Structure 1
Amino acid sequence: MYHQLNRFTGRLIASSHLQNPLFPVAPIALQRVDPPAIQYNTNHMSTVTEATACAAGSRRLVPGTNIPYPPVNETIRKQQELFQKDNDVPVHLKGGPFDALLYRLTMLLCIVGLAGIGHTIYGHAVPKKQ
């Protein structure tokens, strides 16, 4: 016997008009379909034409367009070289003494914040004596 919800009372009642379950009893075989062949480096898939590729030279293009990336500023290039050097210094200290000062200030503020949280929790947990 199958059951359904009564729309008026919201309770389960025996269903008289549902003679079959709401799911298939016997599984239906799936149709076999071969996946499409993958095509690599075809002309209709590429957004770069031969003329623009030669004009751009060895410069990389913005994905999905024929526009080359703009040149990188020299100061940014120097900073990239500085931060990519393998000299066993953590990245948050590679900027020199100013970065070390900012790191220590951040750690001090974290400790002060944790102490403030501990003080607040202690103040709420232990009532004041009157």
Structure 2
Amino acid sequence: MYHQFSRATGRLVAATNLQTPLFPVAPIALQRVDPPKIQYNTAQLSTVTEACPAPGARKLIPGTNTPYSPVPESIRKQQQQFQKEDDVPVFLKGGPVDGILYRLTLALCVVGLVGIGHTVYDHAFPKQ
């Protein structure tokens, strides 16, 4: 037995006009279609040497002949510091200030959770 929603009541009732589960759409068998052929356009593909420039070569900004500006030495040192394998989480690699900010954030989270618990308790057991 099949069911449908009644327009009058909005409830689920036994269907009278449904003879198949896919009424009024009948299933149609899938037709076999050959997959599309892959076409390689070699004129627009870059070569390996363009995609991976030599270590000393400067990469150009796409669409221009202007090279990217060099990375300042201070940023290069920070990159080395943060990418170093020393089993320290990345949010603590900035030094003691990062440790202080991390602990302050944890303390504020705990204070917020205590505040939420206090609010839930006040709403669950109101004062009379």
Asked if these proteins are the same fold (TM beyond 0.5), I'd say: yes
Instruction: Specify the code of the residue in structure 1 equivalent to 2:40.
Output: Q
Q: For structure 1, which runs of at least 5 residues remain unmatched after alignment?
A: 1-9, 15-20
Decide which structure has the larger Cα Rg and report it. 1
The TM-score, its normalising length taken from structure 2, stands at: 0.62
For residues 37 and 98 of structure 2, what CA distance do their matches in structure 1 show? 54
TM-superposed deviation, 1:78: 0.8
Distance 1:23 1:73, change over 3 A: same
Partner of 1:29: 31
Q: What does residue 73 of structure 1 align with?
A: 72
Instruction: Tell me: CA distance 1:125–1:28, structure 2 relative to 1, closer, same or farther (3 Å).
Output: closer
Can you list the C-alpha shifts for 1:99-124, whole angstroms capped at 9, x where unaligned? 11001100110010001001111111
The aligned residue for residue 18 of structure 1 is none
Separation in 2 of the partners of 1:25 and 1:74?
A: 67
Alignment of 1:88-127 (within 5 A): 88-127=87-126
Query: How far 1:13 moved relative to its partner?
Result: 8.6
Structure possessing the higher relative contact order (Cα contacts under 8 Å, 6 or more residues apart)? 1
Partner of residue 44, structure 2: 44
Structure 2, gaps ≥5 residues long: 1-6, 9-14, 18-22
Deviation of the 1:71 alpha carbon = 1.9
Give, in angstroms, the shift of residue 93 of structure 1: 1.0
What RMSD in Å do the two structures reach over aligned CA positions?
Answer: 3.6
- When normalised by structure 1's length, the TM-score is 0.61
